[in-house]
Chains A and B, each alone.
Chain A
Amino acid sequence: QSALTQPASVSGSPGQSITISCTGTSSDVGGYDYVSWYQQHPGKAPKLMIFDVSNRPSGVSNRFSGSKSGNTASLTISGLQAEDEADYYCSSYASSSNVVFGGGTKLTVL
């Protein structure tokens, strides 16, 4: 299984919206509604932000939203804040209980 494809970096100004894409195949992203997104600040463990494509865990801001079309999933952050600056990773179920992660995207808040 190959890693999911994410842009290496994205940036935006406070208050703006940004979208991070996550492209896989019909064997992972396209085949199941089991895409998750994680936020990771330097030196910290990843934090689950979105699960099952578009669901937010309790306590996660509604500024974070997820969607999927075909083999590509997306994470949108609206009303960008300085604290959103972090690395973001997508992951997907990939049959036979396997899991595949994306390469990660560094979000810079300008």
Chain B
Amino acid sequence: QVQLQESGPGLVKPSETLSLTCTVSGYSISSGYYWGWIRQPPGKGLEWIGSIYHSGSTYYNPSLKSRVTVSLDTSKNQFSLKLSSVTAADTAVYYCARRTSSSSWYYWGQGTLVTVSS
């Protein structure tokens, strides 16, 4: 059974960098698939942030590309998100998920709320 779990600070100050980690169990992230991050501002819809292939190739939402880094740590079976220069508009529930080659997200983490505030 594949499971994903997000972790990281729930509060980040404006202009700082948001950092989250997704720990995967039940599957080795180096074996295949895309792994990615999706966010949902309170009361709003889903927004794809970025994905990383098991080989390390990365793909980012063009609207966030200049601020986003997604990386793998295969030794810990984790992947991470860094979002720089955050503002209140980055306040959201952040989900990590596993994506198929046809862009379907089947396995999701439970989500973690990150609030940007001083």
Give the interface of A toward B (CB within 8 A). Answer: 1, 3, 32-34, 36, 38, 45-48, 51-52, 57, 89, 91-93, 96-104
Check B46 for interface membership: any CB of A closer than 8 A.
yes
By beta carbon, the residue of chain B nearest A2 is: B63
5 interchain residue pairs of minimum CB distance: A51-B104, A93-B103, A45-B108, A97-B59, A104-B45
Contacts of A103 in B (CB 8 A): 45
Classify chain B: how many residues form its interface, as a range. 20 to 34
| Best-surrounded residue of B47, B103, B106 (most CB of chain A within 10 A) | B103
Q: Which residues from chain A contact B51 at a C-beta distance below 8 Å?
A: 97, 99
Q: Does B27 contact A (CB under 8 A)?
A: no
Q: How far is the CA of A32 from the CA of B111 in the complex (A)?
A: 29
* B14 contacts the other chain (CB 8 A): no
Given contact pairs A45-B110, A93-B102, a sample of 9 additional A-B residue pairs in the complex whose CB atoms are under 8 Å apart: A3-B45, A34-B103, A45-B95, A47-B108, A51-B106, A93-B103, A98-B62, A100-B48, A103-B45
Could you list 18 A-B pairs, sorted by A, with CB under 8 Å?
A34-B102, A36-B102, A38-B46, A38-B105, A45-B111, A46-B46, A46-B95, A46-B105, A48-B104, A48-B105, A91-B46, A96-B59, A97-B34, A97-B51, A98-B48, A98-B59, A103-B45, A104-B45
B60 to chain A, nearest CB (A): 8
Are A52 and B110 closer than 8 Å at their CB atoms? Answer: no
Q: A89-B46, A97-B59, A103-B45 are in contact. Are A45 and B109 (CB under 8 A)?
A: yes
Task: For A104, list chain B residues within 8 Å (CB).
Answer: 45-46
- CB–CB A101/B59 < 8 A: no
Question: Are A51 and B59 touching (Cβ within 8 A)?
Answer: no
Q: Which residues of chain A have C-beta atoms less than 8 A from B106's C-beta?
A: 48, 51, 57
Residues of A within 8 A of B99 (CB): 99
Task: Decide if B48 touches A51 in the complex (CB within 8 Å).
Answer: no
For A98, list chain B residues within 8 Å (CB): 48, 59, 61-62
- Residues of chain A contacted by B57 (CB below 8 angstroms): 97
